């Protein structure tokens, strides 16, 4: 099995720069691509801030901090991902946008490059069908915030090869994460369970069963959740919650 030394990340937003940070910390060289130079600048700044917090807490050394920063490069051109062993798309949760990105990656990346999608709900099989390498397409669903959360849902499409799965599972462990294999179904496990709960919390609020604080307190104090469902919805982003619920619907 070929070892991956460089990865690409498409999208410099919350998930993209988080994935880039943990990859760089684990010793991987990272090329982060975004169409907006301002987004890349902000993403690099947030990576620096995240690594700075680890340095301040003495979880990494000054040398590790500097080396991780040096492993991250940026570009606005997909072509600069050609030499990556794996590319993770982390753009908005809309099929049309993700399909366009994967089509572009299929054209510019090397024949051995694995294409991973950070989708939180969309069919991996359907996304893989937009490429000529369906056997090398896989779901890598990181949790937010990426540097703190251990779970990565690994999802095969119908055509995903065992070699691709093994490569991604090994890389996930190398990045300090816990890979869990789930099947290709709407929302996978995480959002199939989570989003209906968030939706019911919104209905409780709309129906006047309790105010936002009461609803969150019940789930925190009664169900031992670290964060209430309404606060979690705000953290995820209400637009993203709506996109995922639309897929489930």
Which residues are known to be catalytic?
A: 120, 141, 153, 191
Q: How far apart are CA 24 and CA 7, in angstroms?
A: 9
Longest CA–CA span in the chain (Å) reads 56
Asked if 114 contacts 168 with a C-beta cutoff of 8 angstroms, the reply is yes
95 token code pair: 């099929």
Angle at Cα 228 formed by Cα 139 and Cα 219, nearest 5°?
110
Interior/surface letters 36-45, b for 16+ CB within 10 angstroms, e for the rest: eeebbeebbe
SS3 10: strand
Angle at Cα 14 formed by Cα 9 and Cα 16, nearest 5°?
5
């Amino acid at each position: 099995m070929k070892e991956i030394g460089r990865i690409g990340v498409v999208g410099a937003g919350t998930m993209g720069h988080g994935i880039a940070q943990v990859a760089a910390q684990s010793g991987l060289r990272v090329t982060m691509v975004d169409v907006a130079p301002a987004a890349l600048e902000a993403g690099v700044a947030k990576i620096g801030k995240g690594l700075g917090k680890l340095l301040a807490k003495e979880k990494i050394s000054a040398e590790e901090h500097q080396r991780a920063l040096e492993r991250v490069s940026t570009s606005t051109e997909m072509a600069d991902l050609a030499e990556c062993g794996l590319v993770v798309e982390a753009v908005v949760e809309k099929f049309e946008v993700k399909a366009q990105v994967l089509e572009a990656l299929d054209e510019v990346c090397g024949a051995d490059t694995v294409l991973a999608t950070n989708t939180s709900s969309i069919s991996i099989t359907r996304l893989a069908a937009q490429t000529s390498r369906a056997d090398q397409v896989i779901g890598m669903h990181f949790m937010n915030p990426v540097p703190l959360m251990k779970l990565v849902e690994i999802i095969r499409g119908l055509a995903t090869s065992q070699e691709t799965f093994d490569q991604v599972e090994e890389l996930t462990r190398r990045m300090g994460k816990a890979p869990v294999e789930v099947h290709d179904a709407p929302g996978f496990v995480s959002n199939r369970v989570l989003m209906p709960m968030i939706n019911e919390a919104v209905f409780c609020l709309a129906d006047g069963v309790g105010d936002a604080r009461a609803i969150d307190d019940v789930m925190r104090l009664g169900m031992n959740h670290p964060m209430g469902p309404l606060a979690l919805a705000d953290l995820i982003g209400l637009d993203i919650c709506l996109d995922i619920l639309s897929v489930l619907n």
